């Protein structure tokens, strides 16, 4: 008969407080560790059965049970796995784990950084003391003739061992919860935690409310809380679109269907399976709400681990199961940086390959998805140069003529020898400029998302000879009519400068005159691309840039082919019409400003007053 008391050979009396402080970052981890141990015990038993060293009954079915007893203040985790003999309890509980604890204490007693912990200590079981005042193990080995063993400790260095009354193969770990951990006696809270970590564990898990166990109806309705065969385990050829969508809804509780997905299923050079989804966005800001769930042998580890998952992929949603990940003792930090980088690089390659395949084989849908996926693709290009190199030829731009073109297609279609790319970032505000472009059979791309201002600079850096210009930054030569004689143009410019400087009261107003092909537009405001970018940079830094360093280089471009401008020039010399000319010139200028940006309150007030005056003169 087993009957033993002892002291574990540890010299540090406060080992458990230190384990609590340094080993685990979240209290609920104890459930993950104990259920993971239970799963490992079942896996070991099945392997022994496969090689003929253990016998399993025909009705054997792997099972893990989490029993919550609020009246007794206990949680019990039970498995029907390999179990332990008394010698194995002494070895694995008293010696290996606690000697590991000793090494842990010695190595980290002066450390303050959780991430310095390296996981070679075998301390998973002792996470139970984070929440317990007493821990009891009842275990019966699979070996025939062995007696059941009970091990018990109250969280110091003393333990007791004796014969247990357990009659079924496997192990039960019973935690008597400490006063500061009574919240884990809530069955629904336990269910939520277990579901978080083990929604896809390979063995069925049951949550049992011990206080309600006498209710036969509840017993009859008992169901496992996990899906033991997640979709990523299936061969991609055997999965239907409906299965992919259903799995997405199940995991991410998103009622919208995903746009498309990537199924990763590889065994070499490392073992990794998973599904990455491209979600449909409800609005642009939602791009920051992606979630890639990382699993280790179907056990949840964490969301969005940046060491494994490239940062830009965290804008997506998905599940990745990688049993080869080198995790430490708390299963929360990674080691072996080179190996992890290979995994990260492969994930990036798979995503780029999927986008290339869509572009080449299903261009219509690729264009349809672009509105949702373009912020992700652009961000990925800027954050991961290897990703950019793989997708640079399939980056597309929607144009004002409702087409989708690559950069090379745009430059070819617009015969842009100087490689200028005109763009629009506000279709409503820049409607007049868009109309002018269309009238002149010119095209411009639409770059209106938050990320686009950064993406433009990135593209110019990657394509040194390409220059992006907003539609109000320049007038391309193809918009101009045949030039008048230089002398006539100079005289006209001087006259119009005089008129519009007087009308605006701005002696520094920059005025230019061009004979545009379109006669319908009297004037437009141009703002140099460089000046506009400096202004945007200043805004991004809270407006702390010195405005004098980056003056607003606005130019009033007057169309000498426009009848109104011609009339202003003709009437300016008549003394009795000068007031009308100045009034009209002021209005032309404000209308040009309105098409360029919002008017300042004082300017808007004058514009409305002047509009009323002009209307009265019509009646």
Q: What is the pLDDT of residues 255-286, one digit of tens each?
A: 889 999 999 998 877 888 999 999 987 655 55
Tell me which of 452-456, 498-502, 561-565, 595-599 is least confident: 595-599
Q: Give the pLDDT of residue 551.
A: 60
Q: What is the pLDDT of residues 100-129, one digit of tens each?
A: 444 544 554 554 343 333 233 345 787 888
| Residues near 141 by beta carbon (within 8 Å), at least 6 away in sequence | 82, 83, 84, 85, 88, 169
Q: Give the pLDDT of residue 538.
A: 67
Q: Read off the pLDDT of each residue in 496-502 and give the average, rounded to a whole number.
A: 94
Please give the distance of CA 304 from its chain centroid, rounded to a whole number. Answer: 8
Q: What is the pLDDT of residues 50-70, one digit of tens each?
A: 988 988 988 999 999 999 999
Residue, of 44 and 218, whose pLDDT is higher: 44
Q: What is the pLDDT of residues 197-239, one digit of tens each?
A: 999 999 999 999 988 865 555 554 578 999 999 999 999 999 9
B/e letters for 7-30, b = 16+ CB within 10 Å, e = fewer, are ebeeeeeebbeebbebbbeebbbb
How many other CB atoms sit within 10 Å of the CB of residue 103?
14
Cα radius of gyration (the chain): 36
297: left (phi over 0), alpha (psi -120 to 50) or beta: left
What's the topology of domain 395-478? Answer: Rossmann fold (3.40.50)
Q: Residue 509 — φ and ψ, nearest 5°?
A: -60, 130
**3-state class of 526 per DSSP?**
strand
Give yes or no on whether 3-220 and 395-478 have one common fold.
no
How deeply is 476 buried, as exposed, middle or buried, from its count of CB atoms within 10 A (0-12, 13-18, 19+)? middle
Q: Give the pLDDT of residue 444.
A: 95
CB 384 within 8 A of CB 349: no
Q: Give the pLDDT of residue 557.
A: 92
Domain at 484-526+549-618, CATH from 1.20.120.790, 2.60.120.590, 3.30.360.10, 3.40.50.2000 = 1.20.120.790
* Cα separation, 273 vs 263, whole angstroms: 8
**What are the Cα distances from residue 270, in Å, to 107, 160, 294, 388, 558?**
31, 44, 15, 25, 66
Query: For tokens 């009396």, what's the residue?
Result: 13
How many other CB atoms sit within 10 Å of the CB of residue 1?
5
Please give the DSSP secondary-structure letter assigned to residue 327: B
CA-based torsion, 183, 186, 190, 195: positive or negative: negative
pLDDT at 453 > cutoff 70: yes
Q: Read off the pLDDT of each residue in 490-513 and give the average, rounded to a whole number.
A: 92
* Cα separation, 307 vs 321, whole angstroms: 15
* Cα separation, 248 vs 254, whole angstroms: 7
CB 139 within 8 A of CB 83: yes
Q: Give the pLDDT of residue 94.
A: 76
Q: Give the pLDDT of residue 277.
A: 94
Q: What is the pLDDT of residues 604-613, one digit of tens each?
A: 999 999 999 8
pLDDT at 154 > cutoff 50: yes
CB 434 within 8 A of CB 423: no
| Residues near 228 by beta carbon (within 8 Å), at least 6 away in sequence | 200, 201, 202, 203, 204
Q: Give the pLDDT of residue 549.
A: 55
Quick one: pLDDT band at residue 24, thresholds 50, 70, 90? low
Query: For tokens 């609020």, what's the residue?
Result: 70
Q: Residue 124 — φ and ψ, nearest 5°?
A: -55, -45
What's the topology of domain 231-363? Answer: Ribosomal Protein S5; domain 2 (3.30.230)
The highest-confidence range among 204-218, 301-315, 554-568, 572-586, by mean pLDDT, is: 554-568
pLDDT at 20 > cutoff 60: no
Q: What is the pLDDT of residues 397-448, one digit of tens each?
A: 999 999 999 999 999 998 766 889 999 999 998 998 898 889 888 899 999 9
Q: Give the pLDDT of residue 329.
A: 39
pLDDT at 162 > cutoff 70: yes
Tell me which of 68-72, 313-317, 502-506, 583-587 is least confident: 313-317
Structure token digits, residue 595: 């098409």
* Cα separation, 570 vs 90, whole angstroms: 107
Structure token digits, residue 492: 């006209």
Closest CA to 422 of 437, 403, 405, 408: 437
What's the topology of domain 3-220? Answer: Heat Shock Protein 90 (3.30.565)
pLDDT at 288 > cutoff 90: no
* Cα separation, 532 vs 516, whole angstroms: 24
Q: Any idea where the domains of the chain sit in the sequence?
A: 3-220, 231-363, 395-478, 484-526+549-618
Q: Give the pLDDT of residue 119.
A: 32
* Cα separation, 89 vs 84, whole angstroms: 6
Q: Give the pLDDT of residue 330.
A: 44
**3-state class of 499 per DSSP?**
helix
Average pLDDT, the chain: 84
Tell me which of 22-26, 426-430, 482-486, 594-598 is least confident: 22-26
């Amino acid at each position: 008969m087993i009957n033993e008391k002892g002291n574990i050979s540890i010299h540090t009396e406060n080992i458990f407080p230190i384990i609590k402080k340094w080993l685990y970052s979240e209290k609920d981890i104890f459930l993950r560790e104990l259920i993971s141990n239970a799963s490992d015990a079942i896996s070991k038993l099945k392997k022994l059965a496969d090689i003929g060293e253990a016998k399993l009954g025909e009705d054997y079915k792997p099972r893990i049970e989490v029993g919550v007893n609020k009246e007794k203040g206990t949680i019990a985790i039970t498995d029907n796995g390999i179990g332990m003999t008394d010698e194995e309890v002494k070895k694995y509980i008293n010696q290996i784990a606690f000697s590991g604890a000793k090494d842990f204490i010695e190595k980290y007693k002066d450390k303050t950084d959780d991430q310095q912990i390296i996981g070679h200590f075998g301390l998973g079981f002792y996470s139970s003391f984070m929440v317990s005042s007493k821990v009891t193990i009842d275990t019966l080995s699979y070996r025939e003739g062995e007696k059941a063993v009970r091990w018990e400790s109250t969280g110091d260095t003393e333990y007791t061992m004796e014969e247990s009354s357990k009659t079924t193969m496997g192990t039960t770990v019973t935690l008597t919860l400490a006063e500061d951990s009574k919240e884990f006696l809530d069955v629904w809270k336990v269910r939520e935690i277990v579901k978080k970590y083990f929604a896809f564990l390979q063995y069925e898990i049951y949550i049992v409310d011990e206080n309600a166990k006498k209710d036969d109806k509840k017993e009859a309705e008992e169901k496992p809380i996990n899906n033991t065969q997640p979709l990523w385990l299936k061969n991609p050829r055997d999965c239907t679109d409906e299965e992919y969508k259903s799995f997405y809804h199940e995991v991410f509780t998103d009622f919208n269907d995903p746009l498309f997905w990537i199924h990763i299923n590889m065994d070499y050079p490392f073992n990794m399976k998973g599904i990455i989804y491209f979600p449909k966005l409800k609005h642009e800001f939602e791009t920051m709400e992606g979630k890639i769930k990382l699993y280790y042998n179907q056990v949840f580890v964490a969301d969005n681990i940046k060491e494994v998952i490239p940062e830009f992929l965290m804008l997506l949603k998905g599940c990745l199961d990688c049993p080869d990940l080198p995790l430490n003792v708390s299963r929360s930090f990674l080691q072996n940086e080179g190996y992890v980088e290979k995994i990260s690089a492969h994930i990036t390659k798979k995503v780029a390959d999927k986008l290339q395949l869509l572009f080449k084989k299903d261009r219509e849908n690729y264009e349809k998805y672009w509105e949702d996926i373009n912020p992700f693709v652009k961000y990925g290009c800027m954050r991961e140069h290897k990703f950019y190199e793989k997708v640079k030829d399939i980056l597309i731009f929607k144009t004002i003529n409702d087409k989708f073109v690559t950069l090379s297609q745009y430059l070819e279609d617009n015969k842009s020898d100087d490689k200028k790319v005109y763009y629009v970032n506000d279709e409503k505000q820049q409607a007049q400029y868009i109309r002018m472009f269309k009238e002149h059979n010119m095209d411009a791309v639409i770059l209106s998302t938050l990320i686009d201002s950064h993406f433009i600079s990135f593209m110019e850096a990657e394509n040194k000879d390409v220059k992006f210009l907003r539609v109000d930054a320049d007038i391309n030569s193809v918009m101009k009519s045949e030039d008048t004689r230089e002398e006539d143009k100079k005289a006209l410019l001087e006259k119009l400068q005089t008129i519009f400087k007087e009308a605006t009261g701005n002696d520094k107003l920059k005025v230019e005159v061009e004979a545009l092909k379109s006669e319908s537009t009297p004037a437009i405001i141009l703002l140099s691309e460089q000046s506009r970018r400096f202004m945007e940079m200043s805004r991004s830094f809270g407006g702390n840039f010195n405005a004098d360093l980056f003056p607003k280089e606005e130019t009033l471009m007057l169309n000498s082919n426009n009848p109104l401008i011609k009339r202003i020039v003709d009437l300016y010399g008549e003394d009795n019409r000068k007031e009308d000319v100045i009034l009209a010139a002021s209005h032309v200028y404000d209308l040009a400003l309105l098409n360029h940006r919002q008017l300042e309150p004082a300017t808007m007030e004058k514009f409305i007053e002047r509009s009323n005056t002009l209307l009265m003169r019509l009646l």
